[in-house]
Structures are given as structure tokens and as C-alpha cells.
């Protein structure tokens, strides 16, 4: 159950490839003619772990790696200067490029429905389960949720078999619980997409957990796209405040929140912990909004209607604003960057207002106060987890989701859940979460009812 393929981190693989003596030696022999005439046919580009489409994007990515200095940096800059009509930065995508981008990501995908699938088989659940992988692209598995057990799981550190014991001296940790197949846990393998359902007393179907693998990984630009997403997470976790300092790894947030619990202030999170210029903060915020909005668009395309429809109904009824920050006003439109091309979708729907990014993050057993029945998470990279660790766990459903890049998860936030601690040093995951916290929902309803009267941070930078 613990065996899994080694995927590693594309960023780590690319860094190792760029700094490999053989690569540097080959680059030292590259001439202007090589760049202009051979293009992507050159062995240096063909052997790269990233799927760069041209010399310019390869060299810009190499030169921008943190900690690259000395002779390698001079070499990359020299080759960049040899590029014909080399641009100074990303250029805007054309209408045709944006159309191809969307089609490559989403195609003609139709959002699945579990109830429609079961009805198609005349209500025969066994037949619907048997045909689910072929017809829906994921397995249906019946699994009944156990009663919530706070005494067993609350603030308990969750580990997998043969994991090193974590430090229990940090606040709020009450012990260790090991999840194993012998304890009745279902381990979702890295290449396995599963939707878990339960049956109520009337044998009606209830969705419990959704795990979809390989999301957007078959797009021809998936390598550079996921690299950019990882860069957004990495930058965010370096310049924004860790909102869970007592947990392993980092979690940072942006969008709407209530600040510290004693403040009772609703508004856009003041999340930066480093001194940055206004333009730098705006750039970081636009990247955060872009990555979260892409996440939201993929969620609406991939996740079953039984997940997305109730979330959309909540958003419509609550009239919450779309995602914004103190530096970027809420509204429509977002931008993402792939291979030095900026894709601007000026009228596209943004993500809901609350978002987080995590890097190497692990949390003990807990529940979340949520205004909806669902929380959405997206793993954009994982590394060093060949022998286990860093897995999402639904404790009352007894399911362990082994990490894999391109994994989209919809889970029940009010049930006890956790992530297992890392088994080895230098392992972890990186990703995003869209949440719908109950505290923000109630505060925003009060804000609307009082017509903005009270200690409320303005919802637009223009109102500061």
C-alpha cells in the first residue's frame, strides 16, 4: 500500500539539470547560430526536465533560479543577450493563444454527476460502480463514515507506518495515531482517482470525498504551468505571514478574513511579513489571484455537480465578493503566466474570496467551521514521498490520500481530517486551498445587514 512511483519536484529536477557540469559545459559551447537555427532541437533543450518551447524561456528560467550566481549566471545572461530581439519580460498572449490555452486545459469537458450516472443505470448502484471508471474517469467506492470521535482524533498527530515520531512538545498536541490498512484505512494510490460515496438509511447516495488525479497534466504546457504555480506558492510562503506557526511547514493566506480572533475586523488579509514595495505586493497579489482563479475554474470543470452546485448556491445567496486583496480590488479578471507568456482573462470569473497556500505543511486532527459542506484543495507539487508521508487523511471516513502532483481534492471540512507527517527530511507537498469559513460568512452577512456600519476594513484599495 505504501509503494508509489517517484515523481519528485520538477523545480528541483530542473535546478539539478541546469547546474550539472555536463549541461554547463554544453551551454558554454552554444553559439548564436545554435540558438537561431536549431531552436528546440538542441540537445540541451530536449533533455531538460521542463518542457520549454524555446531557448528564451529556458534561459530565463535558468537565470531566475534562486542562488544561481557566479559563472553560471554570467553564462545564462550571455546567452540571453544573444537571442534575436529578446524581450525584456513576459509578453501578452494573443486571442488565439488564450483560446488554445483554455481548450488544452478544459477541452469539451462536461462536469460529471454521480446521481445522473446512477440514474443512467436505472438506479442500480452496483452497476454504476462497476462502470464508473470507464464512463466517468474515476472509481466510485462505497464507504460509510464513522461517528466523529474528538477524543480519538482532536489535535492528535497522524503518522503512517514506520514514520519517525514527531515532536510533541509543541502546543495543542495530544498524542500520535498511526494509520494503516490493518486499521481499516483505504489508501488512495498516486495514480488512482476515486469518489467515495455513502448510503443513508433510505439508500440515498451521499458524496463524502473526491480525489481526482492528473488534473491539467495532459496539457502540452503542463510542465511550465505547474512550475509557475509552484513558484507562486514558494514566493507566497517566503513573503507572507505563517498563519499556523505551531504546525509543521507553512500556511499563508490572502483574500478575506477576520484577522486575529480578538480583533473582530472583517476585510482583506494583511498577510505580508516582509517590507516590499507597492508594485511588488501588487505583483504577488495578482499571481495569487491568478493561481486561485485557475484552481477555481478547474474545480468547476472537473468536480462533480454534487460538489460545485451547492458551493455556487452558497456564493450566490451570500453575495460574497470575488477574491481581492489590499492591493488588488475585488472584481472580474485574472492573469496567469506560462513560459514567459501572460494570459490575461479580463472578464473571467475569479475565485471565491478566501484562499491559502501551503508548503511542506502538516496539521494534526481537527475540524473546520465551514459555511459549506466542502473545502477544495489542489496539490501542485510533491517531493520525497516515495516511502510515505505528507498524505491527506479523512479520519472518520478512514481514507488516506497519498500525495501526487495534479491532485484535486474536495473534502468534508466538518469531519475530522489531518495530514500525515513527513517520513523523511526534504519531503513535502505544495498547493492551494479554497475555503468557506463560517466566521467570515457570518461577519459578511452582518456587514451587509448593517450597510457597512462597524469596524470593517474597506473592500477596495481605492477606499483607503
DSSP 39: G
Q: Cell 501578452 maps to which residue?
A: 92
In whole angstroms, how far apart are CA 52 and each of 38, 41, 58, 443?
14, 11, 6, 46
Could you give the CA distance from residue 299 to residue 293 in angstroms, rounded to a whole number? Answer: 10
Q: Cell 445522473 maps to which residue?
A: 116
The pLDDT score that the predictor gives to residue 171 is 52
DSSP 373: S
C-alpha grid cell, residue 119? 440514474
DSSP 326: S
Could you give the CA distance from residue 164 to residue 424 in angstroms, rounded to a whole number? Answer: 8
The pLDDT score that the predictor gives to residue 463 is 38
Could you give the CA distance from residue 178 to residue 166 in angstroms, rounded to a whole number? Answer: 12
Provide block-wise average pLDDT over 10 residues at a time, the chain (464 residues): 44 82 86 64 75 72 69 77 62 87 85 96 96 97 92 90 69 78 96 96 91 92 88 88 83 83 70 85 94 97 97 94 92 90 94 94 91 96 89 97 97 95 86 93 84 47 37
pLDDT digits (tens, 9 = 90+) for 314-365: 999 999 999 999 999 999 999 999 877 899 999 999 999 999 999 998 889 9
Q: Which of 285, 322, 267 is nearest to 443 (CA)?
A: 267
C-alpha grid cell, residue 374? 466542502
Could you give the CA distance from residue 62 to residue 68 in angstroms, rounded to a whole number? Answer: 8
Could you give the CA distance from residue 433 to residue 408 in angstroms, rounded to a whole number? Answer: 10
Q: Residue 303 in 3-state DSSP?
A: coil
The pLDDT score that the predictor gives to residue 260 is 59
Q: Cell 506558492 maps to which residue?
A: 233
CA angle 398, 402, 407 (to 5 degrees): 110
Find all residues with CB under 8 Å of 144, minimum gap 6, and list them.
198, 199
Cα-Cα end-to-end distance for the chain: 54
C-alpha grid cell, residue 38? 536549431
Q: Residue 329 in 3-state DSSP?
A: coil
In whole angstroms, how far apart are CA 180 and each of 1, 186, 196, 243, 398?
9, 8, 18, 30, 10
Could you give the CA distance from residue 60 to residue 57 in angstroms, rounded to a whole number? Answer: 5
Cβ atoms within 10 Å, residue 445: 15
Could you give the CA distance from residue 336 to residue 291 in angstroms, rounded to a whole number? Answer: 7
The pLDDT score that the predictor gives to residue 115 is 95
DSSP 424: S
Could you give the CA distance from residue 5 to residue 421 in angstroms, rounded to a whole number? Answer: 19
The pLDDT score that the predictor gives to residue 37 is 60
Q: Cell 482532536 maps to which residue?
A: 154
Q: Residue 11 in 3-state DSSP?
A: helix
The pLDDT score that the predictor gives to residue 92 is 87
CB 233 within 8 A of CB 357: yes
CA Rg value for the chain: 23
- Backbone dihedral angles phi then psi of residue 172, each to the nearest 5 degrees: 70, 20
Q: Residue 138 in 3-state DSSP?
A: coil
Amino acid at each position: 500500500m505504501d509503494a508509489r512511483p517517484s515523481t519528485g519536484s520538477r523545480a528541483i529536477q530542473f535546478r539539478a539539470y541546469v547546474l550539472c557540469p555536463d549541461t554547463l559545459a554544453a551551454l558554454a559551447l552554444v553559439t548564436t547560430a545554435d540558438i537561431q537555427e536549431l531552436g528546440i532541437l538542441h540537445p540541451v533543450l530536449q533533455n531538460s526536465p521542463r518542457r520549454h518551447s524555446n531557448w528564451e524561456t529556458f534561459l530565463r528560467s535558468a537565470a531566475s533560479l534562486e542562488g544561481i550566481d557566479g559563472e553560471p549566471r554570467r553564462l545564462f545572461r550571455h546567452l540571453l543577450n544573444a537571442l534575436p530581439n529578446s524581450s525584456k519580460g513576459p509578453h501578452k498572449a494573443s486571442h488565439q493563444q488564450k483560446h488554445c490555452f483554455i481548450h488544452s486545459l478544459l477541452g469539451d469537458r462536461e462536469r460529471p454527476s454521480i446521481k445522473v450516472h446512477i440514474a443512467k443505470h436505472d438506479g442500480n448502484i452496483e452497476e454504476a460502480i462497476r462502470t464508473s471508471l470507464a464512463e466517468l474517469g474515476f472509481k466510485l467506492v462505497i464507504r460509510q463514515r464513522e461517528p466523529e470521535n474528538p477524543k480519538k482524533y482532536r489535535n492528535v498527530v497522524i503518522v503512517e507506518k514506520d514514520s519517525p515520531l514527531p515532536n510533541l512538545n509543541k502546543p495543542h498536541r495530544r498524542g500520535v495515531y498511526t494509520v494503516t490498512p490493518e486499521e481499516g484505512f483505504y489508501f488512495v494510490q498516486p495514480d488512482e482517482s476515486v469518489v467515495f460515496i455513502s448510503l443513508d438509511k433510505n439508500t440515498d447516495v451521499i458524496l463524502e470525498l473526491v480525489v481526482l488525479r492528473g488534473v491539467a497534466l495532459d496539457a502540452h504546457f503542463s510542465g511550465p504551468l505547474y512550475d509557475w504555480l509552484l513558484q507562486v506558492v514558494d514566493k507566497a510562503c517566503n513573503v507572507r505571514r505563517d498563519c499556523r506557526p505551531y504546525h509543521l511547514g507553512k500556511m499563508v493566506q490572502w483574500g478575506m478574513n477576520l484577522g486575529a480572533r480578538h480583533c473582530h475586523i472583517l476585510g482583506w488579509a494583511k498577510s505580508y511579513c516582509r517590507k516590499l514595495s507597492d508594485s511588488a505586493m501588487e505583483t504577488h497579489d495578482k499571481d495569487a489571484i491568478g493561481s486561485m482563479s485557475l484552481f477555481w475554474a478547474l474545480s468547476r470543470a472537473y468536480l462533480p455537480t454534487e460538489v460545485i452546485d451547492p458551493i455556487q448556491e452558497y456564493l450566490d445567496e451570500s453575495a460574497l465578493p470575488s477574491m481581492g486583496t489590499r492591493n488588488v480590488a475585488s472584481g472580474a479578471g485574472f492573469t496567469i503566466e506560462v513560459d514567459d507568456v501572460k494570459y490575461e482573462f479580463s472578464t473571467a470569473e475569479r475565485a471565491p474570496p478566501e484562499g491559502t497556500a501551503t508548503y511542506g505543511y502538516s496539521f494534526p486532527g481537527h475540524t473546520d467551521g465551514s459555511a459549506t459542506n466542502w473545502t477544495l484543495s489542489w496539490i501542485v507539487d510533491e517531493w520525497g514521498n516515495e516511502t510515505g508521508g505528507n498524505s491527506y487523511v479523512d479520519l472518520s471516513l478512514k481514507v488516506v490520500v497519498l500525495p501526487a502532483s495534479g491532485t484535486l481534492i474536495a473534502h468534508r471540512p466538518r469531519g475530522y481530517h489531518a495530514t500525515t507527517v513527513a517520513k523523511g527530511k526534504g519531503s513535502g507537498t505544495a498547493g492551494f486551498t479554497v475555503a468557506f469559513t463560517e466566521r467570515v460568512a457570518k461577519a459578511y452577512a452582518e456587514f451587509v445587514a448593517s450597510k457597512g456600519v462597524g469596524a470593517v476594513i474597506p473592500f477596495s484599495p481605492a477606499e483607503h
